[in-house]
Structure 1
Amino acid sequence: MFLPLGDEPNPRGVPWVTYGLITANVAVYLLISLPLSFTRADPTDPALAAYIGVLLEQFGGRLSPAELVGQVSAYDLVVFTHGFRPADPHLAALFTSLFLHAGFLHLAGNMLFLWIYGDNVEHRLGQVRYLAAYLATGVAATLFHTVFDRWLIHLGRCRRKER
Structure 2
Amino acid sequence: MIPIGDDNSDRRSRPIVTWALIALNVLVFAVFQGCGANDRFTYAMSTVPQEILTGKDLVTADRTVTDPSTGQRYSVPGLGVTPISVYLTLIVSMFMHGGFAHIAGNMLFLFVFGDNVEDRIGRVRFLLFYLFCGVVASLAHVFVSKWTGQDLAVPSLGASGAISGVLGAYLLLFPKKRVRVLLFRFITKVPAWVVVGVWFVFQVVNGLGILGGGTGGGVAYAAHVGGF
Instruction: With the length of structure 2 as denominator, give the TM-score of the two structures.
Output: 0.48
Instruction: Give 1:117's aligned residue.
Output: 113
Number of aligned residue pairs: 119
8 Å CA contact 2:8–2:116 kept in 1: the answer is no
Quick one: which amino acid aligns to residue 111 of structure 1? M
State how far apart, in whole Å, the 1-side matches of 2:50 and 2:132 are: 21
Per-residue CA deviation, residues 100-127 of structure 1 (Å, 9 max, x unaligned), is 1000000000000000010011011111
CA deviation after TM superposition for structure 1 residue 35, in Å: 5.1
Instruction: Give 1:4's aligned residue.
Output: 3
Of residues 115-124 and 8-17 in structure 1, the stretch that sits farther from structure 2 once superposed is: 8-17
CA deviation after TM superposition for structure 1 residue 5, in Å: 2.3
Can you give the 5+ residue segments of structure 2 that lack an aligned partner in the other structure? 53-85, 158-212, 214-228
CA deviation after TM superposition for structure 1 residue 17, in Å: 0.2
Is 1:108 matched with 2:101?
A: no
Instruction: Give 1:85's aligned residue.
Output: 48
8 Å CA contact 1:79–1:155 kept in 2: the answer is no
RMSD between aligned residues: 2.1
Identity of aligned residues (%): 39
State how far apart, in whole Å, the 1-side matches of 2:15 and 2:126 are: 10
Is 1:99 matched with 2:98?
A: no
CA deviation after TM superposition for structure 1 residue 13, in Å: 1.1
Per-residue CA deviation, residues 123-147 of structure 1 (Å, 9 max, x unaligned), is 1111111000100000111110111
State how far apart, in whole Å, the 2-side matches of 1:114 and 1:20 are: 11
8 Å CA contact 2:36–2:99 kept in 1: the answer is no
Instruction: Give 1:154's aligned residue.
Output: 155
Structure 1 counterpart SS, 2:33: helix
More helix by share: 1
| 2:123 pairs with one of 119, 127, 140 | 127
More strand by share: 2
Can you give the 5+ residue segments of structure 1 that lack an aligned partner in the other structure? 38-74, 157-162
Quick one: which amino acid aligns to residue 99 of structure 2? G
